[in-house]
Amino acid sequence: MKLRADHDRLRERLGALNAGSAGRVRQVDTYYDHPTRSFADTDEALRIRRETAESEDESEDDEAGDRTRVTYKGPLLEAESKTRAELETGVADGETLASILGKLGFEAAATVEKDRERFRYDGYTVTLDTVSGLGEFVEVETEAETIEPAREGAVDVLEQLGLDPDTQIRRSYLGLLLDDAE
């Protein structure tokens, strides 16, 4: 679940809840258009993410340094959240992958740049995002086999942070940026 939010206030609240820091990263996401169908119409996305760690956490699942990943995002699975299937894998050379996609007819459609500060709380990742051209947001997410209990847990986390889950934004950052460009 994603909402607009003031990061200074949320950092204070996360501290009061003893949320664990999971580090900071800079992400540059390049989204691609399919050569024969509209991802906007099918509610899918294909992106290459270049990520650089800005700080390291001592936790065992921290992934420090630079990395590139390719991600396919499927259509939204329900009306109450931004839940969708995602397939993601690491890429050794993002520039070569971008060239391959170009040779196959995919075109870079847009780039989303963001700074992310991550926290772990109660089985969820709470991410404070500063998105270039859009401002400050918070995302609460977890991996789930069953959607409803995961969504209910995210609602509980948002309420503990003093936020109103009913103000969630179901549009992606890409969608929000494209809306602003129109």
- CA pair distance 95, 136, nearest whole angstrom: 29
- Spot the catalytic one: 31, 32, 124, 173: 31
DSSP annotation of 10 reads H
Q: Are 1 and 82 in contact (CB under 8 A)?
A: yes
In the chain, count H helices and then E strands: 5, 8
Residue 29, SS3 per DSSP = strand
Amino acid at position 149, single letter: P
Is 32 one of the annotated active-site residues of the chain? no
Eight-state DSSP code of residue 161:
T
- What amino acid positions are annotated as catalytic residues? 31
